Homo-oligomer: A and B are copies of this chain.
Amino acid sequence: MLEHFKVPNDIAVKVPIDRLRAVTEAVFMKCGVPQREAELAADVLMFADQHGIDTHGVSNMLRSYVNMYNTGVMNPDPTFSIVKETASTALIDGGGGLGLMTAPKAMEIAIEKARESGSGIVSIRNSGHLGAAGYHAMMAAKADMVGWCMTAGGKSMIPTFGAEPQLGTNPIAFAAPSDKEPTFMFDAAMTSIAGNKIGLANRLGKPLGAGWVANEDGTPNMDGGAASSFAANSLRNQLPVGSTRELGSHKGYGLGVMVDILCGQLSFAPGFSDLALKRRAHFVAAYSVDAFGDAAEFKSNMDGMLKGLRETKPMPGHDQVWYAGLPEHYEGIKRGEQGVPLHPEVVDWFRSITAEFEIPFDLV
């Protein structure tokens, strides 16, 4: 709900989700991605674009994916393999493909194992950018399970009391099924703000908020201000959620390390034993509600809890209290009707890439 990051209404080009999906699939296929995989990748991106998770939609990510395919950083047609498995666990090698498609396939394995033996815990290595982690967690919720998805990699989070970044933003996504209430879907970086939001603020010329990044010497910046007033490397010195030790930054930092362990250590991915190395890995898990009790009763109980949360008496200046997934639910309905608001610059990129790839451009 950060209006801060929305494309201004007067310049936004509203594109119907089906058209955006079709052109996105075509772009992936022109990069050498097989059709079924291209459909899956587009579905993950459309999930983000439809539900207002703009940091992980086509605007921020698609050109970066195209670039990774063109430069050989990502394999468009990877071999996905199970390195090791037990009744309730698996370690997956993604074959150097995008996490966008690796994670849903890993989650399918987790769901299948949870159906058979109660839970499915899957770590994933050799896999690129994940897309919106919430998509993968939601797969479990749709199968009447609680689901997790996490990803670790890169260097953006500065540990509490540290002066250099050592961890990624390391998001945690979690979803659980309900009946009538919109699904609870939590998806958040363990830094005070998602990394892409700093890039987005930069692009839209918005200031950085207090508590987002550290100053050059590592001390938490609690003033914020124009990106240009920060040293360049400060923009990658993101603070853990909590921002300062006094406000609880050791909690965001500790959860960030936990994500590194579940993704990187549990997948034995290269680079996680030495913070100086480049690294990336993911984690998904599903726990079957049926294994614990009646799924219909669970979903009805969830309804009661979620209704209670959104009917919480609000503080002054607010009409209501939200829960994770509720704003995305409403945004999904709105954008389903009105289209996805794209920045004209993004529409221009689509115009040029479709020309280059010789595929139809029909977004506007």
Contacts and interface: CB of A to CB of B under 8 A. Distances in A.
A174 B258 contact: yes
A11 interface: no
Interface stretch (A35-43, A259-267, A334-342, A344-352): A259-267
A204 interface: no
Q: Which residue, of A121, A298, A318, has the highest number of chain B Cβ atoms within 10 A?
A: A121
A301 B163 contact: no
A117 B88 contact: yes
A99 interface: no
Nearest to A83: B293
A159 B160 CA distance: 25
B254 A243 contact: no
A265 B146 CA distance: 10
Given A88-B118, A209-B246, A315 B257 contact: no
Interface stretch (A20-28, A66-74, A211-219): A211-219
Contacts of A188: 248, 250-251, 254
Contacts of A117: 86-88, 117
A210 interface: yes
Interface in A259-290: 260-262, 264-268, 272-276, 287-289
B246 A241 contact: no
Number of copies: 2
A255 to B, nearest CB: 7
Contact of A146 (B193, B242, B261): B261
Contacts of A303: 273
Nearest to A316: B217
A189 to B, nearest CB: 8
Given A117-B88, A119-B119, A250-B188, A217 B260 contact: no
A302 interface: yes
A60 interface: no
Interface string A171-199: 01010100000001010101011000000
4 A-B pairs with the lowest CB-CB distances in the bound complex, closest first: A218-B315, A86-B118, A273-B304, A275-B308
30 contacts: A85-B118, A85-B291, A86-B291, A87-B88, A88-B117, A88-B119, A89-B119, A89-B287, A91-B293, A119-B121, A146-B266, A160-B322, A162-B314, A163-B315, A192-B248, A193-B248, A219-B316, A241-B241, A241-B242, A241-B252, A250-B324, A257-B305, A260-B305, A266-B287, A268-B297, A268-B298, A273-B302, A273-B304, A273-B305, A274-B304
